[in-house]
Amino acid sequence: MGRQPVAVIIGMMGAGKTRVGKEVAQLMGLPFADADVEIEHEVGMRIPDYFQRYGEPSFRQVESDVINDMLHDFDGIFALGGGAPMTRSVRDGLADYIKDGGKVVYLMADPREAMERANRGGGRPMLDGDANARWKKLYRQRDPVYYRVANVHVETYGQTPLAAARKMKDMIEERTVHVTGTTIEDYDVRIGEGAMNHLAETLGDKPVRVALIHTQPVQRHSDRARTLLRKGGYEVHDILIPDAEAGKAIDVANGIWQRLGDEGFTRSDAIVGVGGGAATDLAGFVAATWMRGIRYVNCPTSLLAMVDASTGGKTGINTPQGKNLVGSFYTPAGVFADLRTLASLPNDIFIEGLGEVAKSGFIRDPEILRILESHAADLRAFDPETFLGSGLEDVVAELIERTVRVKAYHVSADLKEAGLREFLNYGHTLAHAIEKLEHFRWRHGNAVAVGCVYAAELAHLLGYIDQDLVDYHRSLLDSLGLPTSWDGASFDEVLALMHRDKKARGNKLRFVVLDRIGHPVHLDDPPADAVREAFERIRK
């Protein structure tokens, strides 16, 4: 593949494609090209003159040739003329460009503003005659095509060119993981600054009411979600829940069900969860159970929630007997990992999320481990105040994307955890026991880190891996600031809880262990002395 544009902008005449495109290019330090300018260079005359002399069909052919050449030989921001996407060969070229990872941006300006600018600009052959009537007719024809062709939609109603450019920049720089599978409805996990801007676009026009479920510590982010939802025309019902695991309880869910009933929520309404993993778990569980399932979207605000709880369709609540024992498999309509939310995340809560990131490296993607090794000091020193705009932001975005891809791989093939998906539980058999015995004072990612070391010790004792890989678990996790040992209860207490693990079969324990990096296997009913000895090795 040769050079290709960072983004291609499409939209109506007067939408501001050139003005906003130049601003975006300047913000990103990239060159800018306008297809109409390139065409005029190619034909040696102004477009209105070419139209008049040779007609529209001839112009569209030249336009198509120029655009398709630029799609393979330009590496900046490229704005197209309003009519270009109506040509089949241009649409085909844009589709191929998207397949290669390109971003086609539909710049959606206020029609009244765009119409006024188009009239003011002049020199537009397609508006000859009654300009306003022609513009409206073209808009009706072109808007559905633009919407289908583009994979990024940027609404700029009432915004200055610079504000619109900043919004477009955020959306261009987004990373997207498409989650699909034979038993689930496809959805996207969007990762980047401003990812939450996709809320209304993803919820669609069917819901009237949206229940916004959130915790107090993420108030600033729920405020933003509420503003976006109201701007999208939804009736927003604010539901505040207890923070962390205290929110994942049957009495909390029951209170929300009562609210939904009292406030008239129907099957076509929706739920948005904003917060950490516990909040998104609860929001998904309520969505899965209300009227046997209504649309929901997750807006995770912690690293752990972005890479784990919000993605994959596992929803649930805790009971006195254990964690996540009551729940449902129910996929969201979308997940928005908005990196701006990490700018309010305390260092220790950011670090715990790296436990799940490292786990995904161990079971599937060794490149995650390499990135963690290379940036361990910077990750461990995470400072929310300097995070956005720093070099670390792109590192974290890549770690989130890679970890979500690991999860998507397992979820797509096995939504209901019949086999392959269980590999995502590497380290979790002990981790869930630790969380329960610590009354959930230990954070999930920290418990998973210890659980991974335990699984490595068990695998080594039984001959699956060598001592070097056990030592690598400890050294990598320790370098990130994660715990690698625990001594909070007796082995018998731990064993009793491990028997309640969801992977257990009857009275037999079942673990996930590695036989090499990137290759997990099931370990059924291991010898009792090895299970005990591995535990002794992770005690302080």
What's the confidence (pLDDT) of residue 267?
Answer: 94
In a domain, 134, yes or no: yes
Cα three-residue angle 459-461-465, rounded to 5 degrees = 45
The residue from 171, 187, 219 where one domain ends is: 171
What's the confidence (pLDDT) of residue 2?
Answer: 66
Residue 213: is its pLDDT beyond 70? yes
What's the confidence (pLDDT) of residue 146?
Answer: 95
Task: Let me know if 198 is a catalytic residue.
Answer: no
Task: Let me know if 356 is a catalytic residue.
Answer: yes
What residue numbers does the annotated binding site for Zn(2+) cover?
Answer: 356, 428, 444
Contacts of 266 (CB under 8 A, 6+ apart): 208, 209, 291
In a domain, 282, yes or no: yes
What's the confidence (pLDDT) of residue 125?
Answer: 55
76 plus 135 within the same structural domain: yes
* 406, 474 Cβ separation under 8 angstroms: no
Q: How far apart are CA 29 and CA 435, in angstroms?
A: 47
Percent with pLDDT over 90 in the chain: 71
483 plus 389 within the same structural domain: no
267 plus 147 within the same structural domain: no
Task: Let me know if 428 is a catalytic residue.
Answer: yes
302 plus 254 within the same structural domain: yes
Task: Let me know if 72 is a catalytic residue.
Answer: no
List the single range of 242-246, 527-531, 532-536 with lowest mean pLDDT.
242-246
Q: Minimal CA–CA distance to 151: which of 207, 75, 109, 91?
A: 91
DSSP code for 440: T
What's the confidence (pLDDT) of residue 129?
Answer: 52
Percent with pLDDT over 70 in the chain: 94
Q: Minimal CA–CA distance to 408: which of 101, 100, 175, 187?
A: 187
CATH number for 503: 1.20.1090.10
State the DSSP string of 301-354.
-SHHIIIIITSSSEEEEEETTEEEEEEEE---SEEEEEGGGGGG--HHHHHHHH
Instruction: Kindly report, residue by residue over 189-208, the tens digit of the pLDDT.
Output: 999 999 998 898 899 889 99
CATH number for 76: 3.40.50.300
pLDDT category at 540 given cuts 50, 70, 90 is confident
DSSP E strand stretches across 101-186: 104-108, 152-155, 175-179
What residue numbers does the annotated binding site cover?
Answer: 14-19, 36, 60, 82, 124, 142, 159, 243-248, 277-281, 301-302, 314, 323, 356, 428, 444
What are the Cα distances from residue 486, in Å, to 71, 357, 430, 449? 55, 20, 10, 10
In a domain, 414, yes or no: no
In a domain, 418, yes or no: no
In the set 359, 407, 410, 436, the catalytic residue is 407
What residue numbers does the annotated binding site for Mg(2+) cover?
Answer: 18
Mean pLDDT across 322-350:
90
Residue 505: is its pLDDT beyond 90? no
Task: Let me know if 432 is a catalytic residue.
Answer: yes
What's the confidence (pLDDT) of residue 113?
Answer: 77
Strand partners, 440: none
156 plus 191 within the same structural domain: no
399 plus 472 within the same structural domain: no
CATH number for 243: 3.40.50.1970
Q: Minimal CA–CA distance to 304: which of 270, 268, 341?
A: 341
pLDDT category at 327 given cuts 50, 70, 90 is confident
Domain count, the chain: 3
204 plus 153 within the same structural domain: no
* 372, 358 Cβ separation under 8 angstroms: yes
In the set 295, 421, 436, 473, the catalytic residue is 421
525 plus 398 within the same structural domain: no
pLDDT category at 418 given cuts 50, 70, 90 is low
What residue numbers does the annotated binding site for substrate cover?
Answer: 36, 60, 82, 142
Comparing 149 with 2, which gets the higher pLDDT?
A: 149
Residue 95: is its pLDDT beyond 80? yes
What residue numbers does the annotated binding site for NAD(+) cover?
Answer: 243-248, 277-281, 301-302, 314, 323
What's the confidence (pLDDT) of residue 116?
Answer: 74
In a domain, 84, yes or no: yes
10 plus 132 within the same structural domain: yes
Comparing 327 with 505, which gets the higher pLDDT?
A: 327
In a domain, 415, yes or no: no
19 plus 41 within the same structural domain: yes
146 plus 12 within the same structural domain: yes
Comparing 357 with 415, which gets the higher pLDDT?
A: 357
In the set 120, 292, 439, 540, the catalytic residue is 292
Q: How far apart are CA 376 and CA 381, in angstroms?
A: 9
Mean pLDDT across 455-476:
98
184: left (phi over 0), alpha (psi -120 to 50) or beta: beta
Domain interval for residue 474: 426-537
Task: Let me know if 436 is a catalytic residue.
Answer: no
Q: What is the pTM of this model?
A: 0.84
Residue 1: is its pLDDT beyond 70? no
Q: Is 129 exposed, middle or buried (0-12, 13-18, 19+ CB in 10 A)?
A: exposed
Mean pLDDT across 285-293:
94
83 plus 151 within the same structural domain: yes
In the set 237, 405, 436, 444, the catalytic residue is 444
In a domain, 470, yes or no: yes
Task: Let me know if 444 is a catalytic residue.
Answer: yes
DSSP code for 118: H
In the set 237, 402, 432, 473, the catalytic residue is 432
Instruction: Kindly report, residue by residue over 101-135, the tens digit of the pLDDT.
Output: 899 999 998 787 777 766 665 555 555 556 677 78
Mean pLDDT across 468-494:
97
The residue from 361, 378, 407 where one domain ends is: 407
In a domain, 417, yes or no: no
Mean pLDDT across 231-240:
94
The residue from 342, 377, 407 where one domain ends is: 407
What are the Cα distances from residue 443, in Å, to 192, 244, 431? 25, 9, 10
Mean pLDDT across 26-36:
96
In the set 173, 417, 422, 457, the catalytic residue is 417
The mean predicted confidence, pLDDT, of the chain is 91
* 220, 196 Cβ separation under 8 angstroms: no
What's the confidence (pLDDT) of residue 315?
Answer: 86
What's the confidence (pLDDT) of residue 128?
Answer: 53
In the set 224, 425, 443, 446, the catalytic residue is 425
Structure token pair of residue 163: 């504000």
Mean pLDDT across 324-347:
91
What's the confidence (pLDDT) of residue 392?
Answer: 96
What's the confidence (pLDDT) of residue 309?
Answer: 67
Burial of 411-437, coded b for 16+ CB within 10 Å and e otherwise, reads bbebbebeeebbbbbbbbbbbbbbbbb
Residue with tokens 């990750």: 379
